[in-house]
Structures are given as C-alpha cells and as structure tokens.
Amino acid sequence: IDVQNDFCAKKGIIAKSDRNISPIEQAIKNLQQFIDEARHHNIPIIFFRLVYDPKKIPQTNIERLKIKNAEGLCAPRSWGIAFYRIEPKPQLGDIVFEKNYYSAFQQTPLEAWLKKHQIDTIIITGVTTHICPLLTGAEAYYRGYKIIALKDCLGTYEGQRFALRYMKEQFN
C-alpha cells in the first residue's frame, strides 16, 4: 500500500516536511523479497497508489494536508504518485488500484475483486503503517477478511509500534 515517491523518497513531500523516512527503507527491501516470493507461489499481488485528487477528496482532507505541511502530497499526475523503487515493478497479472482515501476499500474495486477471486485472507504491506495499512486492515477485518500484517514489510515515519500492536491485538 502506497509505496510511492511522496512517502518514500528523500525528495518526496513527507521527507521535505521534516519527517524521518529512514525506517521505510528496510521495509521496502523486505517488501521486494516478499513480492518475489509471493509471485513464485502464485499469490496475487495488488498495488495501491494513493492520489489526492482535490475533485475526489473531502475539503477536510485538503485542510489537513495544509496543517501537516504536506500540500501537494500525491497530487494527480505528479512525480510523487509514482511507485518508489519497487523492483520488480508491477507485472502482467498484478493488479494496480488507485485510491483517494486512506482505506484501500473505500470507493475502489478491491472488495469486488476479492469476492470474484474467492479470497478471504489479506496480507498487508506498505508504508505509512499508522494510516493507510492500519485503516485498510481495520476495514478488511470488519468486512470479514482474515488479516496478516507483515511487520517487516511495513514502514512509516511515525506511530509504527502503535499501529503494529493495534493490528495484532485487534485483527488476530
């Protein structure tokens, strides 16, 4: 979830807003290994790209970005929404969904895709653990899915221990 330039790169908006993104780097290395292994075992891979399109997100979210010194974060058609150093890149057979909200379920085709493919367990990886992966996990859990949060493939600039503890206590 959301392994994008604005969250992960030193020139991304999160790093420019004085947040420490160094913990994200190890999670990305681990994630790359996990993706290779998942493909080897024919586990479906779904990439999520967050796009804060002002035409699609609420005004409260736009105001929050200003308060957090993150204006322009994941702006449509920007360098910031590109996937960050994920190798291999999404391949034929992988799914890429765009989302405009924290949860990967909110106004995306994710749940329809999961039901169509009779998937009942979701493995959560990505960045900003304390926001998008956490809220995606919560929504998945309340929709009846089993959740596996791969802590070594989750990274953030704040709130990592809280988010991992919450997911472990609430979703397992």
The confidence score (pLDDT) of residue 129 equals: 83
| DSSP three-state, residue 88 | coil
Distances (CA, A) of 21 to 12, 50, 73, 85, 158: 10, 18, 15, 14, 9
In angstroms and rounded to an integer, the radius of gyration of the C-alpha atoms of the chain is: 15
Which stretches of the chain score pLDDT less than 70?
A: 86-88
The confidence score (pLDDT) of residue 88 equals: 59
CB atoms within 10 A of CB 80: 24
pTM, entire model? 0.88
CB 143 within 8 A of CB 105: yes
The confidence score (pLDDT) of residue 140 equals: 96
